[in-house]
Amino acid sequence: MRKRWYRRVAGPLAAHVPGFREYLVGLGFAPESVRHRMSQFRAISGWLEAERVALSELTQAGLEEFATGRAARGRVVWVSKASIGLPLAYLRLVGLVAPAAAMCTRGAVEETLGSYHDYLLSERGLVGSTAATYVRVARRFLKAKVRHGRIERLSPADVTAFVVGECRASSAVSAKKTVTALGSLLRYLHVAGLAGPLAAAVPKVAGRRAGSLPQGLPAGQVARLLSGCDRLHEVGRRDYAILMLLARLGLRAGEVAALRLDDLDWRRGEMVVRGKGDRHERLPLPVDVGQAVATYLRGERRASQGCRAVFLRLSAPSGPLSSGGVGSVVARACRRAGLPCSGSHRLRHTAATQMLNNGAPLAEVAQVLRHRSLAVTATYAKVDRGSLAELAKPWPGGAA
């Protein structure tokens, strides 16, 4: 008789063993990985029993203590705080551990940041990822100004010192994001009556907008990226479809990651793109791009129940591919093609310059790229003198 592949779990989590195993299988973990994860679950349950911790007292901090305790005893696996991520997610799912938001200490800074986050989402219309970035900058700025549980009075000197410290070793792009987020926070604090009008004290970041040419890839290099995808396998079909969306339609990495099955209208040959600022816009779906996506979707896709994302991770835990994952697809394609590593946004530049070189007017390119201002699209016209001439106004008085 074959030996049972897991030992009996003792302790307060014993009743949750079947549910956790089903949770792991649903996430796409292989049997060997499930066995290792169940071993960790058994260890957590044994630790709870040894420490006499009731399930009602279980917290994220307690699970982190379990991990660090293993490290102190000389163990080498399941010893980092990140290692408790999966059991913690399951225990939150079944209600044994409180959600992360409920576990935050609600001091002066956290109360302010919570209200600021709600303001960004409801009043300013920012998407969740952008709001989270703004809040991270705000937390770094405010945490040094708390004394005795209250936020101290802010001054222009505090603003300048923070910007100098944050941006000392940052690129111009990163520095601009920091000062933009800080300006947003200071405007909110003024409106909320928590600070004076300090937004004007935020230093400007030097650097000309669109001072360099857009870095598109030559057509031959794009062909090499695409031909490097092995479309006999699932990963190759997925990567090929992603590269086609990036290079032909100029989608951003986040827009590719956000694509849902319901966004594809096969009858009309259109797709809905979920862009910046939660904007939903329809674009035509070219035949070759549609065929690439359809070929991938008709293959074996290991999607978890209820997952409507088009592009999925191929390793456990299964789920939607992130924008970072889309960037990794491009990086791997560059390595296969023997090209310098490029970001996904460079393929957006490639799509724009190719459309201009094929004679598309700026207004049409702006519509495909979903730019709010034609001036943004005009940066791509610098590689095409004919398109750039469309923006030039007649010289006063006419030619000499």
348 included as an active-site residue: yes
Three-state secondary structure of 10-45:
CCCCHHHHHHHHHHHHHCCCCHHHHHHHHHHHHHHH
| Annotated active-site residue in 145, 336, 345, 382 | 345
| Annotated active-site residue in 134, 252, 296, 349 | 252
| Annotated active-site residue in 143, 276, 282, 335 | 276
**DSSP symbols for 341-398:** ---HHHHHHHHHHHHHHTT--HHHHHHHHT-S-HHHHGGGGGG-HHHHHTTPPPPTT-
From residue 241, alpha-carbon distances to 12, 225, 321 in Å are 47, 12, 13
119 included as an active-site residue: no
Question: Side chain identity at 198, as an amino acid letter?
Answer: L
252 included as an active-site residue: yes
Rounded to whole angstroms, the Cα distance separating 105 from 108 reads 9
349 included as an active-site residue: no
Count of other CB atoms within 10 angstroms of residue 387: 22
16 included as an active-site residue: no
Phi and psi, residue 386, nearest 5°: -65, -45
Q: Which residues does 56 contact at the CB level (< 8 Å), separation at least 6? A: none
Count of other CB atoms within 10 angstroms of residue 129: 9
Residues annotated catalytic, as ranges: 252, 276, 345, 348, 371, 380
